[in-house]
A and B are shown apart, each in its own frame.
Chain A
């Protein structure tokens, strides 16, 4: 694994994904990270506010413009108010990914006071039974809805995220209606990934087949989208998206931001993303001991990615004409499943094998 220093393009660090808590207050069946269950009796480690602030100070000098707070569950962090105050004072664009359960009106107002805040809340069913079957904790449905109401009252228009599986696929339309009635701006449909707890769902046949997923994507993007004022996003890779959804002004397409992002885990480790919690090879030092600039500029894996993406991608990604905008969808997930940085994304590989990969999106 050698890198030619001169040929590696430089990338500013524009975004940090903070995985604030090692635990989570829910036990979702499909969770791609599988955090331990956090309760009053069993509190789990969280990112220290001093480290959070130190990382932000260092990153701002390197180009940081925004950050994402995620988990586990970010709002579970006992000093979340202090962290949000730092984000506000540093004028960083804020994204929060939450299960909504702990989103009080006070927190919602504080989030709304940050720069360009964007909040997504996970809802996996249109009724308590379905949502709580997926999320594993009684009472979390009403609590999440209350969290959304608090966000809306604070002037935000959250995104609802639904992870689609066999158990809830018949509730997609009702979830969109619920998002409309609660005041959300958009709904995103996530595909269950075969990592961490999602692996068991895949093995037990509780996820949709690749044929069903591809068909569902078309239906969401063409039929369901036409029936609602909300923006609907289906999380399949760009090769499956209509160009009208991924291109601006009919001109060029946006470039994936992965090469400008680093993840920070609850113990202060730097990682490619939260998947570092289960894939130690993708951890690059710790904020307590290592300067961020050194990690960003000297970590071999990051250099390899900058030099090799997207050309070194294998399988269907090698053949795909969207690879410059997609960069293999999620390198960390591809690696977790294969231990190969250049492995193709499972969804596109399965689609190709089933003859479902769009012919207009391959080289020849």
Chain B
């Protein structure tokens, strides 16, 4: 599962704010979710080309002071997005 590419639900709207936080808004349900800058970074990489470990590697390469347990945070965050129907695993042809 961890090597599967991840993809954001295309109907969800990302609204970035001045302080690098952002709101994820689901126009169908009216639900809004606040995201911190790390979550925003992860969300932007749910493009069907990155798996969980690719995202962690990129985060470590591009950002300073990434905590040791960032991988755990990313894993939990993605699991939460999938559970809420905001993201999913990309369907791969055999």
B13-40 Cβ-contact flags toward A at 8 Å (1 or 0): 0011101011101010011111110110
Contact A250 B32 (CB under 8 A): no
Contact B19 A244 (CB under 8 A): yes
Contact flag A243-B17 (CB < 8 Å), given A321-B23, A360-B23:
yes
Contact A360 B16 (CB under 8 A): yes
Contact A325 B32 (CB under 8 A): yes
User: How far is B17's CA from A321's CA once the two chains are assembled, in angstroms?
Assistant: 14
* Chain B residue nearest in CB terms to A222: B19
Contact A247 B31 (CB under 8 A): no
User: How far is B30's CA from A323's CA once the two chains are assembled, in angstroms?
Assistant: 9
Contact A360 B32 (CB under 8 A): no
Interface size on B, residues (CB 8 A): 20
Contact flag A360-B33 (CB < 8 Å), given A243-B22, A251-B80:
no
Q: At the interface, yes or no: A252 with Cβ under 8 Å from chain B?
A: yes
Contact A361 B80 (CB under 8 A): no
Contact A321 B32 (CB under 8 A): yes
Contact B34 A360 (CB under 8 A): no
User: How far is B30's CA from A358's CA once the two chains are assembled, in angstroms?
Assistant: 17
User: How far is B19's CA from A193's CA once the two chains are assembled, in angstroms?
Assistant: 29
Question: In the complex, which residues 216-259 of chain A have their Cβ closer than 8 Å to any Cβ of chain B?
Answer: 242-244, 246-247, 249-253
User: How far is B21's CA from A244's CA once the two chains are assembled, in angstroms?
Assistant: 7
Interface of B is mostly: mixed
Contact B34 A324 (CB under 8 A): no
* Chain A residue nearest in CB terms to B16: A360
Contact A243 B38 (CB under 8 A): no
User: How far is B33's CA from A246's CA once the two chains are assembled, in angstroms?
Assistant: 11
Contact flag A250-B16 (CB < 8 Å), given A243-B22, A321-B23, A363-B27:
no
Contact flag A252-B33 (CB < 8 Å), given A321-B25, A363-B27:
yes
Name the B residues within 8 Å of A324 (CB-CB). 30-32
User: How far is B22's CA from A247's CA once the two chains are assembled, in angstroms?
Assistant: 11
Contact A242 B30 (CB under 8 A): no
- Residue from the list B30, B35, B77 in contact with A243, Cβ < 8 A: B35
User: How far is B17's CA from A122's CA once the two chains are assembled, in angstroms?
Assistant: 33
User: How far is B30's CA from A325's CA once the two chains are assembled, in angstroms?
Assistant: 11
User: How far is B38's CA from A311's CA once the two chains are assembled, in angstroms?
Assistant: 31
Name the A residues within 8 Å of B27 (CB-CB). 363
Contact B17 A250 (CB under 8 A): no
User: How far is B36's CA from A321's CA once the two chains are assembled, in angstroms?
Assistant: 17
Query: Whole-angstrom distance from the CB of A204 to the nearest CB of chain B?
Result: 35
Q: At the interface, yes or no: A176 with Cβ under 8 Å from chain B?
A: no
User: How far is B30's CA from A310's CA once the two chains are assembled, in angstroms?
Assistant: 10
Q: At the interface, yes or no: A348 with Cβ under 8 Å from chain B?
A: no
Contact B34 A250 (CB under 8 A): yes
* Chain B residue nearest in CB terms to A311: B30
Q: At the interface, yes or no: A322 with Cβ under 8 Å from chain B?
A: yes
User: How far is B39's CA from A216's CA once the two chains are assembled, in angstroms?
Assistant: 29
Name the B residues within 8 Å of A360 (CB-CB). 15-17, 22-23
B45-62 Cβ-contact flags toward A at 8 Å (1 or 0): 000000000000000000
Contact B30 A246 (CB under 8 A): no
User: How far is B33's CA from A273's CA once the two chains are assembled, in angstroms?
Assistant: 29
A282-326 Cβ-contact flags toward B at 8 Å (1 or 0): 000000000000000000000000000011000000000111110
User: Which 4 pairs across A and B sit closest by C-beta, in order of nearness?
Assistant: A250-B36, A247-B34, A243-B34, A360-B15
Contacts A/B (CB < 8 Å), 11 sampled: A242-B17, A243-B34, A244-B19, A244-B21, A249-B36, A250-B36, A251-B33, A251-B80, A323-B30, A360-B22, A361-B23
